[in-house]
Copies of this chain bind each other. A is one copy, B any other.
Amino acid sequence: MYFSKSFVPILKNNPTEAKIKSHQLMLRVGMIKQSSAGIYSWLPLGFKVMKKIEQIVREEQDRIGVQEILMPTIQSSEIWKESGRYDDYGEEMLRIKDRQNREMLYGPTNEELVTEIFRSSIKSYKSLPQLLYHIQWKFRDELRPRFGIMRCREFYMKDAYSFDLNDDEALFSYNKFFLSYLRTFKRLNLSAIPMAADTGPIGGNLSHEFIILADTGESKIFTDKRIFNVESSSTLLDKNSLNDLRKQYEKYYSVTDEKFDRQEFEKLVPEEFRVNTKGIEVGHIFYFGDKYSKPMNAAVDFNGKKEFVKMGSYGIGVSRLVGAIIEAKYNDKDEIMKWPLSVAPYHCAIIPMIKKNDTTNIEKCNKIFEYFKSKNIDSIIDDTDENISAKIKKFNLIGIPYQLIIGNKAEGDLFEFSEVNGKTQKLNIEDVASQILKAKLN
């Protein structure tokens, strides 16, 4: 792919309407374009990042045995009346009348619809547990959408739902998602902390938010430094191992401002370990028992007895994560971004010096591009006629993790290669490829 042919509309300066750095950067390098208040189109660069995040989220759901389905965006109001949430939800719910004057809505979440699917399909406790997820667009009609895709109206979300026979089994399901979320955020190169949280309009009595640290976060967080050392890599998908993991986290105080209690914080956390900072919510899990299954009559037969199933729900903001990663990784003072390799739009930018009437460098680039392709390294060639330093500045912003310069200084088979803002090495192309491939494995 040549940069001149790609649809990446770069702005010279930060757009004045953007107040936080993810919004600035995404508009600046043409990842998104606003189409109306709080509603965005995803251009190729932003789309690639979001798709890679989506795929990691999907793989980590599949890994704990959740089955993927896809529910529609437009729902009937009927099921929301059954659960009792139709009136509660307020103006954030986008209500629609179709041509037959039926009351419809754009789903802000899917507890009702998935319960309806479950109750019409599953009759026996022998088919439990059932864990289902989908990744679909949602709509919340925010009064004041802002901060780009961080607080927008149409957003892309993974939401999962669990159905179990009793509290004990349901907690096992809950803990599977707890582990799955830690794994997901780790693959995105984010350190996310699970925090006890309020349940809000979803309801229930057990809930964790997963929060990543960022100065621009909306949530104040209070925690214990030692929580960052808790390790989940050896946790197994069995009840005891998952319980142990939960316990390890629960040893440390860790809440958002909603649940903050200064006395408790100071009593439980020695001064040298206290962390008081801001964070961004990237995931939220809930256990709410029969809150939906009871009013909606979702029950199974258990040896002749009717049991309402115990449910939980589990969300990850897929589109929001694109912004959250920028908030965590972007140095806006020096205008330097570096995407985690696992979600970078390309792995390497090939940056040639272009001389008029001389195609030598472009031909070199084409060969390198093909070689990279054969190694599953995605690259993009900057064939524009900007000078090298302007190109490097541009790619520092775009955040492709590696840069390979094809310039005058190329000596024989050696090229200047570096990580974004890193030290330059002179390497031949095979060594460049093996460095990138090695990093991909981590």
Contact = CB atoms under 8 A, between A and B. Distances in A.
A154 B122 contact: no
A33 B117 contact: yes
A99 B90 CA distance: 10
B121 A36 contact: no
A47 B75 contact: no
Interface of A: prevailing SS: mixed
Contacts of A117: 33, 35, 41, 43
Contacts of A47: 68-70
Given A7-B132, A33-B117, A67-B7, A39 B126 contact: no
A71 interface: yes
Interface string A160-202: 0000000000000000000000000000000000000000000
A113 interface: yes
A96 interface: yes
Contacts of A78: 36
A35 B113 contact: yes
A143 interface: yes
A74 B39 contact: yes
Contacts of A121: 7, 9, 30, 33, 43
A139 B106 contact: no
A50 B44 CA distance: 23
Nearest to A41: B71
Interface in A66-121: 67-76, 78, 91-92, 94, 96, 98-100, 102, 104, 106, 113, 116-117, 120-121
Contacts of A141: 98-99
A125 to B, nearest CB: 12
A249 interface: no
Nearest to A68: B47
Interface string A388-429: 000000000000000000000000000000000000000000
Given A4-B127, A117-B41, A126-B4, A139 B74 contact: yes
Interface in A1-48: 4-7, 9, 30, 33, 35-37, 39-44, 47-48
A36 B137 contact: no
A11 B213 CA distance: 49
Nearest to A51: B68
Nearest to A163: B7
A277 interface: no
A249 to B, nearest CB: 29
B130 A72 contact: no
A41 B113 contact: yes
Contacts of A92: 99
A41 B42 CA distance: 25
12 contacts: A5-B127, A6-B67, A35-B116, A36-B75, A39-B75, A42-B71, A48-B68, A73-B73, A73-B137, A74-B94, A74-B139, A96-B106
Interface of A: 4-7, 9, 30, 33, 35-37, 39-44, 47-48, 50, 65, 67-76, 78, 91-92, 94, 96, 98-100, 102, 104, 106, 113, 116-117, 120-122, 126-127, 130, 132, 137, 139, 141, 143, 153-154
What 9 pairs across the A-B complex have the smallest Cβ distances? A9-B121, A36-B76, A42-B70, A41-B71, A91-B99, A44-B67, A72-B154, A39-B72, A99-B141
